[in-house]
Structure 1
Amino acid sequence: MSRVSQAQALENRRRAVTSASKLFRERGVNGISVADLMKSIGLTTGGFYKQFPSKEALVAEAAQAAFGDLDVLLAGFDADHGDHDTARAALVDFYLSAEHRDQPGTGCPTAGFAGDMAREPTAGDVRETYAAGVQDFAAWMSTDANGGLPVVATLVGAILLARATAGTELSEKILESTHKALTASQNPEPES
C-alpha cells in the first residue's frame, strides 16, 4: 500500500473540512457520521483519524471554514453594491429568500450551526469559533450601538423557523413578514 504524499494529505484534509462544513449545516453535527463524511469524499474512516484527533476538532474547523465563506460572501455584497447600507439591504433580501431557506448546506453558518451549538455540550474551541463568527456577522450588520445583534438574531430566528415549516404557507409568511419588519426598521417613515 502506497503512502499518501503530504500534498495529498493536505488536500484530503481540505476536502474533509469543506464537506463537513456543508453537511453539518445541512444535517446537523449528529446527523452525519465520520464514516458517512469520509465516504462522501471517497476516503476511509481510518483516514479521518490521521487528519483529525476527534470529530469535535473537525466541527471547530468546519465552523471556522463556514464563517470564512460567510466573510467572503459579505465582502462580495460590499463589492457588488457600492455602499455598505445597500449591501446590508441586499443581504437581508438574500437571507430571507426561499433560495437561502432551501439550501442550508451552503447557507449561513450562524443558522446552520445554531441548533448544534444550543443542544450539544461542546468544548471551548467549537463554541468560541461559533461565537466569534456570530460577532463578526453582527458587526457587519451593525447600523447602531447594538452592534447588529438584534438584526442577526431576527434573521437567524426567521430562517430557522422558515426551514422548520418549509412547504407550508407559514414558511413563506415568516420570510415575507420578517423582511417587511426589518426593511421598515431600517427605513423608518419620516414623521409628519
Structure 2
Amino acid sequence: MTTPSKKEQTHERILRSAARAIRREGYQGVSVADIMKDAGLTHGGFYAHFSSREALLAEALEAAAAETTQTLEDAIHKAGPDEGLEALLNAYLSDAHAKHVERGCALAALGSETRRQSSEVRSVTTQHVRRMLDLLESQLPSGDRAQRQEQAQAALSTLVGALILSRAVNDARLAQAFRTAAKRAIHDRND
C-alpha cells in the first residue's frame, strides 16, 4: 500500500471539510473560501485541487455519500444473521444521525436543493440513491426482485423523509416519533 502524497492528503482534507460543510449549510450556504479556511488552507490553493466549485461540490457529495454507505454497511456487518435490516434502520434513524447533519446522509441534508444543482451533482446523487436502494434491497426478505426493488424504494423514501422531518421540528418527542414510526412502517411492510 502506498502512502498518499502531500497533495492527495490535502485534497482529502478539503473534501472532508466540504462534505461536512455542504451537509451542514447546503450547497449555496458555503463558499470555496470557507471550505479552504476550514481545511486550514488559503483560497488560492483551491484550483490546484479542483477545476471549479461544481467539481468540488460533486466530489464532496461523493465523499459524503460514501461515508453514509460505509456507516450503514458497517452496521449491517456487525449485526447477527437476519438482523441486517434492523441494524441499518437503527443506524439511519439513530439520535446521533438526526443530531449531526454534518456527518449524516446527504440525501436527507440536501435532497430538496439538489434539483437546482449541476448535472454532475445530480448524477452523483442518482448514483448514491441507487447504492442505497441496492443496500436496502440486499437486506429485505427474499422474494420477487421487482417487489424487493419497490420495497427498497418505499423504505428509502420513508427513511429520508423521517430524518428530514425529525430534523425540522423543535420538539424532541415529535422528532423521535417520526423516526420510530418510520422504523415500524418499514418493518410492517417487510414482515
Range of TM-score over shorter length: 0.7 to 0.9
Matched residue, 2:91? 94
Q: Distance in 1 between matches of 2:80 and 2:181?
A: 27
Native 8 Å contact 2:75 2:91 kept in 1: no
Deviation at 1:25, TM superposition (A): 1.0
Matched residue, 2:163? 159
Native 8 Å contact 2:76 2:87 kept in 1: no
**For 2:19, what is the secondary structure of its paired residue?**
helix
**Residue of structure 2 aligned with 1:140, choices 125, 131, 135:** 135
Deviation at 1:168, TM superposition (A): 4.6
Query: Measured at CA, do residues 145 and 131 of structure 1 come closer, stay the same or move farther in structure 2, by a change above 3 Å?
Result: closer
Structure 1 residues not aligned, in runs of 5+: 1-5, 188-192
Q: Distance in 1 between matches of 2:40 and 2:97?
A: 28
Native 8 Å contact 1:17 1:61 kept in 2: yes
Residues paired across the two proteins, number: 179
Q: Distance in 2 between matches of 1:159 and 1:140?
A: 18
**Residue of structure 2 aligned with 1:123, choices 118, 134, 137:** 118
Q: Distance in 2 between matches of 1:167 and 1:16?
A: 35
Q: Distance in 2 between matches of 1:7 and 1:145?
A: 41
Deviation at 1:147, TM superposition (A): 5.9
Matched residue, 2:19? 21
Deviation at 1:136, TM superposition (A): 0.8
Q: TM-score, normalised by structure 2?
A: 0.85
Q: Distance in 2 between matches of 1:129 and 1:96?
A: 23
Q: Moved runs in structure 1, 4+ residues, more than 4 A?
A: none
Letter of the aligned partner of 1:185 in structure 2?
R
- Post-superposition Cα deviations, 1:124-157, rounded to whole Å, max 9, x if no partner, equal 2211111011111011111314261110011001
Query: Measured at CA, do residues 14 and 145 of structure 1 come closer, stay the same or move farther in structure 2, by a change above 3 Å?
Result: closer
Matched residue, 2:33? 35
Q: Distance in 2 between matches of 1:132 and 1:26?
A: 21
Q: Distance in 2 between matches of 1:40 and 1:90?
A: 33
Query: Measured at CA, do residues 81 and 101 of structure 1 come closer, stay the same or move farther in structure 2, by a change above 3 Å?
Result: same
Query: Measured at CA, do residues 175 and 78 of structure 1 come closer, stay the same or move farther in structure 2, by a change above 3 Å?
Result: closer
Native 8 Å contact 1:56 1:126 kept in 2: yes
Q: Distance in 2 between matches of 1:87 and 1:24?
A: 29
Matched residue, 1:3? none
Matched, 1:51 2:78: no
Q: How does 1:47-86 map to 2 (within 5 A)?
A: 47-83=45-81, 85-86=82-83
Q: TM-score, normalised by structure 1?
A: 0.85
Query: Percent of pairs identical after alignment?
Result: 30
Matched residue, 2:5? 7
Native 8 Å contact 1:138 1:147 kept in 2: no
My pick for the range that moved more, 91-100 or 130-139, is 91-100
Deviation at 1:81, TM superposition (A): 1.1
Native 8 Å contact 1:20 1:62 kept in 2: yes
Which protein is bigger by CA-based radius of gyration? 1
Structure 2 residues not aligned, in runs of 5+: 141-147
